[in-house]
Amino acid sequence: METSLNATPEITGALLSRILTSMQDLGEAASQMLAAKGVSEISLNEWYPRSIQHECFNETLKRFGESALYAVGFAYQNMVRDRYSSEVTSITDELLKSESDASRNDIEISTENAVKKLVAILHNGSLSNVRNHPESYGFFFEKIASYQYLLSFSSFPITSLTSYSEAIIYGMLRLAFPPSWIISINLDTHKENRINGNASDHFLIRIDFVRNDTSIEEMRLHETLQVKQKLLLAAMDAAQAEHEKASKLLANHLDSVTYASRLQKNLLVPYELLSQRFKEFSVIWEPREIVGGDIYWTTSAKGKKLDHFSLALFDCTGHGVPGAMLSLLATSTIDRIYSNNPEISPDNALMYIDKTLRDTLHQRGSLSEIDDGCDAAIVRIDPIKKNLEFAGAKIGLIKISSIGLSELFNPTPISIGYQDAPIQLPDLKCINYESGDTFVMFTDGFTDQIGSVDQNNFRSYGKKRLIKLLEENAQKSVDDIIKIAKENFDLWQGSQIRRDDLTLMIFRP
C-alpha cells in the first residue's frame, strides 16, 4: 500500500495502551501528554494520531534520557510475546534443535532464517498497528556477511528515536534466540538516515554461536535486570545531577528523585505475592531520602506453587542515591543466585553475595577506592513441615509465640561485601514453629533511631523496646502490630532527625 506522505499516520488504541503500560514507571509524563491532547480514556478499537505517541516519547527523552526510552522499547517484546507466542516459540525450538547439529553451516542457516522470521513479525505487526503509512514504512532485513545482518526501521517524517527502535530490535532478537547466540547491535552511521523522506534507523547486527549451559529463563531475567539497572541508574544519576544545580531547577530534581523512588519500589516484592506466601505479612519500608539502601526480596514463583520459598532483607551502605545503587546490585545478585540454584541454603547464599559484592566492586585488597557492603538476612520457609532456616549477617530474627513468649536469634556479627569483613560462613539456625507464631526482621534504622517518649533524655529505640511491644501485642493481627509499632516509633522519634533508612517486616507463615 502506497500512501501520500501528507496523510496523517495513526496507530491503534491497543498499541497506544501497550506503550502507556510500559511507560507507567515514568509517572505522569504520558498521562499529562494525553490530557493535553484531550484524550482521557483509550479505546482499544479506535485509531489515534501517531503524533501523540511521539510527543510522549519526546517528553520521556527530555525528562529522563535515552535509558528510559530504551526501556520502553525493550518492553515491546511483551506485546510480541502475547500476540505472536506460537511463532516465536517455534523459532526458538528450531534454534535449539540446530545447536545439536554437527554442521556449522546448518547453524548459520538457522540463524539467518530466525532473523528473517523475527523481522517479518515486527514488520507485519507494525503494518497492522498503523494506518496511512507509506510503502517504505516498517522493519527490513538484509544479510551482509556470515552471521552479520543489516536491520532497518523506517518511520514517518519525524525526528528519529533511535534508542527506542534499537531496544525493540534487540528485545525481539533476545525474545527468541537462546543464550547460546551472542547478539551485538550497533547503529550504522554510514547509512543515510532518511528513506523517501522518512526518518530511518539502520542497525548492524552480529550474532555469534557459542555453547554454554545458561537457561533461557536465566538469560531473559538477566537481560530484563540489565535494562532495569540502566534505567534506575539513569534516574539516580539525573537526581544527583539535579541536586547539584541551582534552586530554580528544584522541580526537575524532585521529578527525577521521585522517578528513581518509583523504580526502586518496583524492585520490591509485590504485596500480592507476599500475601499469597504467608498467612499474614506486613512491612514498614521508609527510605530516609526518598530512595535508600534498605530493600527486601523473595524467590520468584515462576507461575508454580512452591513447597518452600526464601525471604531476604538487605541494609546496604549509606542511604539516598548511593544506598539505592548498592541495593540494586544486591537484589540483582540474589536473583541470579536463586535462578541458578533455588535449593541453596541461606548461609551459603549470603557467602555467595559477599563474594559477588567484593568482585563486582573490586574490593579485594587495600588499593580499592571504595569500601561498601551490606547487612543481610535470609530465611528459607517450609510451610508444610512448619520449619524455617535462618542465617543473618548483622540482621537478626525475632520469634514471638502466640502467647507472647519471645526468642531472639542473633546473627553472625559481620557484614558482607566490605574489604575488611572476614570471610566466614554465617551460622545457620533451624527453627520449628506453630500456627500463630510471629517472626520479625528489621534493619538498624529502626532500633538505632534517637528519641524519647517524653522528648527528653534522648537515646536509641533499641531491641528490648521493640521486643516488649511485640510481646504485648502478640495476639493481634500483623497489620495491627505494624500500625502500633509505627505509631510508637513516630512518638519516640518526635522532632529528632531520621537517622537512617528503616524496614520492619512481620510475618506469620
Q: Are strands 148-154 and 198-209 parallel, antiparallel or unpaired?
A: antiparallel
Beta carbons of 373 and 416 less than 8 angstroms apart? yes
Beta strands in 189-319 (DSSP E): 194-195, 198-209, 280-286, 294-298, 309-316
pLDDT at 6 over 80: no
- Could you give the CA distance from residue 129 to residue 79 in angstroms, rounded to a whole number? 12
- Rounded to 5 degrees, what are φ and ψ at 192? -60, 135
Number of Cβ atoms within 10 Å of the Cβ of 134: 21
pLDDT at 12 over 50: yes
Greater confidence (433 vs 371) lies with: 433
Q: What does the pLDDT look like over 350-391, one tens digit per residue?
A: 999 998 888 888 776 666 677 888 999 999 999 999 999 999
Strand-pair partners of 65: none
Q: What pLDDT does residue 7 have?
A: 66
Q: Which CATH class is domain 10-209?
A: alpha beta
Q: What does the pLDDT look like over 236-245, one tens digit per residue?
A: 666 666 555 5
Return the closest-CA partner of residue 418 out of 490, 505, 326: 326
Average pLDDT across the chain, whole number: 82
Query: Would you kindly state where each structural domain of the chain is located, as residue ranges?
Result: 10-209, 268-508
Confidence of residue 4 (pLDDT cuts 50, 70, 90): very low
Return the closest-CA partner of residue 11 out of 3, 2, 19: 19
Element (H, E) at 33: helix 29-36
pLDDT at 188 over 70: yes
Q: Domain 268-508 adopts which CATH fold?
A: Phosphatase 2c; domain 1 (3.60.40)
Classified as helix, coil or strand, 114 is helix
Greater confidence (264 vs 478) lies with: 478
- Rounded to 5 degrees, what are φ and ψ at 209? -95, 125
Report, as an integer, the average pLDDT of 384-402. 95
Report, as an integer, the average pLDDT of 142-161. 77
Residue whose C-alpha cell reads 587495600 in the numeric block: 366
Return the closest-CA partner of residue 393 out of 418, 372, 368, 376: 376
pLDDT at 136 over 60: yes
CA-angle at 269, arms to 264 and 275, nearest 5°:
145
Q: What does the pLDDT look like over 16-42, one tens digit per residue?
A: 887 777 776 666 666 676 777 677 778
- Could you give the CA distance from residue 155 to residue 50 in angstroms, rounded to a whole number? 11
Residues 6+ apart with CB under 8 A from 495: 455
What are all long-range contacts of 361-369, with beta carbons under 8 Å and residues at least 24 apart?
361/329, 361/417, 363/417, 363/418, 363/419, 364/419, 365/419, 366/419, 368/419
Q: What pLDDT does residue 2 have?
A: 42
pLDDT at 66 over 70: yes
Report, as an integer, the average pLDDT of 452-461. 81
- Could you give the CA distance from residue 355 to residue 359 in angstroms, rounded to a whole number? 6
Q: What does the pLDDT look like over 309-354, one tens digit per residue?
A: 999 999 998 777 778 888 888 888 998 898 888 889 999 999 999 9
